[in-house]
């Protein structure tokens, strides 16, 4: 095996792939003599990580979906432990994705590998019992929200707040737009996981077809996540409507989401990191999400939060409407988009609220700060 210092990174979803790639670039800039192995997406592979498992294969969400793939997850976990031993890694760096990564972190800790958790599991949102596990198996925790530190006993774990790495990826937009009645460009971000697409696209297709009949001057713009292909979206279009759908809907290649958001007038965004991307791009938006019925029911029992959208959680009040589960309907999406596009007072309020949220996310340079902290920690 190579004598280069080796870091094992595990990112199991699209946003983790982006943040991990930026961390890797910053670490290589500080020390070109290191290498990376592990689990990741296309951005990480482009930088040169030796990838044992593609993140796309791990990217499922929900209790039911995980249970269906349990055998694959267990085998993958055991295989990665063997790889960690084989390469004698300097440190294990899990990126969010706690259901899988915490299990792998525990195994790394037992092997004597330094564990550095980047992007803290959202223990402030749900499953607070994980705090004890994190304090036991994580040597260094890098947090991206200032309030996350308060969830832990600092006597038990070393914590560094670095700010949100999304600010390194998205250039903040502050301009405001006025939209002419019955016209406009509407961005739609249906999610990055295949399970999210399966739950969201049928309703979104119905909405777009209906909204187009009512407001033919509005066009729809969908940036494709790295974990998806155009075919994954088109399979939900009725065969007799494909040509008309392609005329009103524009699908973009991975990596164009920020430019698409900035070019549009309003957006519908699946709950997740992308909601903060909407805030940084300063586009009035609403948040939607739909899950397997059992997963949603169980989640409601476990998660005791007033909101699910990150923009709302950071603001500590609702700045974006949330259309969840049975409330994600064609009628409600239509009503919300009409006000997002053509209600000047609502748009002004959202612009003002977004400025406040951006102020709470910290400044640029989170990836570089994290890289230096990691390299100093393993010396």
pLDDT surpasses 60 at 238: yes
How many domains are contained in the chain? 2
Same domain, 307 and 203: yes
In the chain, the largest separation of any two C-alpha atoms, in whole Å, equals 64
Q: Which two tokens stand for residue 58?
A: 């791990």
- Does the structure show a pLDDT above 60 at 62? no
Q: Are residues 199 and 99 in the same domain?
A: no
> Could you tell me if residue 269 is inside a domain?
yes
pTM of the full predicted structure? 0.83
Instruction: Give the whole-angstrom CA distance, residue 348 versus residue 178.
Output: 10
Residue-number span of the structural domain to which 348 is assigned: 184-359
Q: Note whether 47 and 158 are same-domain residues.
A: yes
For the record, the structure tokens of 159 come out as 């914590």
Residue 18: count other Cβ atoms within 10 Å of its Cβ.
Answer: 24
Residue 63: which pLDDT band, with cuts at 50, 70 and 90?
very low
Beta bridge partners of 117: 141
The answer to whether residues 43 and 16 touch, using CB atoms and an 8 Å cutoff, is no
Nearest residue to 126 via CA among 289, 317, 304: 304
User: Measured between alpha carbons, how far is 65 from 62 in angstroms, rounded to an integer?
Assistant: 5
Cα separation of 199 and 220, whole Å? 19
DSSP 330: H
Give me the CATH number covering residue 242. 3.40.50.2000
How far is 82 from 63, CA to CA, in rounded Å? 27
State the CB neighbour count (10 A cutoff) for residue 61. Answer: 21
Q: What does the pLDDT read at residue 232?
A: 86
Average confidence (pLDDT) over 295-321:
84
The DSSP H or E segment spanning 302 is helix 293-302
Q: How far is CA 39 from CA 1, 92, 165, 203, in A?
A: 19, 11, 19, 32
- Same domain, residue pair 122 and 190: no
Q: What is the mean pLDDT of the chain?
A: 91
Q: What mean pLDDT is predicted for residues 114-130?
A: 82
- Identify which has the larger pLDDT, 154 or 237: 237
């Amino acid at each position: 095996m190579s004598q280069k210092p080796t870091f094992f990174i595990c990112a199991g979803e699209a946003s983790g792939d982006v943040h991990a790639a930026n961390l890797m670039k910053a670490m290589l800039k500080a020390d070109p003599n290191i290498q990376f192995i592990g689990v990741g997406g296309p951005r990480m592979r482009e930088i040169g990580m030796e990838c044992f498992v593609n993140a796309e294969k791990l990217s499922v969400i929900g209790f039911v979906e995980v249970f269906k793939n349990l055998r694959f997850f267990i085998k993958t976990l055991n295989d990665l432990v063997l790889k960690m031993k084989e390469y004698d890694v300097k440190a294990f760096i899990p990126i969010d994705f706690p259901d899988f990564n915490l299990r792998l972190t525990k195994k790394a800790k037992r092997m004597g590998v330094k564990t550095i958790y980047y992007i803290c599991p959202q223990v402030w949102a749900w499953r607070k019992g994980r705090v004890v596990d994190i304090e036991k198996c994580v040597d260094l925790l890098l947090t991206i929200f200032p309030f996350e530190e308060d969830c832990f006993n600092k006597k038990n774990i070393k914590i560094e707040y670095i700010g949100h790495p999304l600010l390194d990826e998205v250039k903040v937009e502050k301009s405001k737009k006025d939209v002419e009645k019955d016209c406009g460009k509407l961005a739609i971000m249906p999610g990055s996981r295949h399970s999210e697409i399966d739950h969201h696209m049928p309703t979104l297709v119905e909405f777009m077809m209906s909204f187009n009949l009512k407001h033919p001057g509005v066009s729809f713009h969908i940036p494709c996540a790295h974990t998806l292909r155009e075919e994954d979206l088109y399979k939900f279009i009725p065969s007799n409507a494909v040509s008309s759908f392609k005329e009103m809907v524009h699908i973009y290649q991975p990596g164009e989401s920020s430019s698409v958001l900035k070019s549009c007038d309003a957006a519908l965004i699946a709950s997740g990191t992308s909601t903060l991307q909407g805030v940084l791009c300063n586009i009035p938006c609403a948040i939607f999400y739909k899950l397997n019925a059992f997963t949603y029911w169980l989640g409601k029992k476990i998660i005791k939060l007033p909101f699910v959208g990150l923009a709302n959680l950071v603001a500590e009040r609702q700045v974006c409407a949330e259309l969840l589960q049975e409330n994600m309907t064609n009628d409600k999406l239509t009503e919300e988009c009409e006000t997002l596009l053509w209600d000047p007072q609502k748009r002004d309020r959202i612009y003002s609220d977004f400025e406040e949220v951006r102020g709470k996310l910290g400044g640029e340079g989170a990836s570089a700060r994290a890289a230096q902290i990691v390299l100093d920690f393993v010396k």
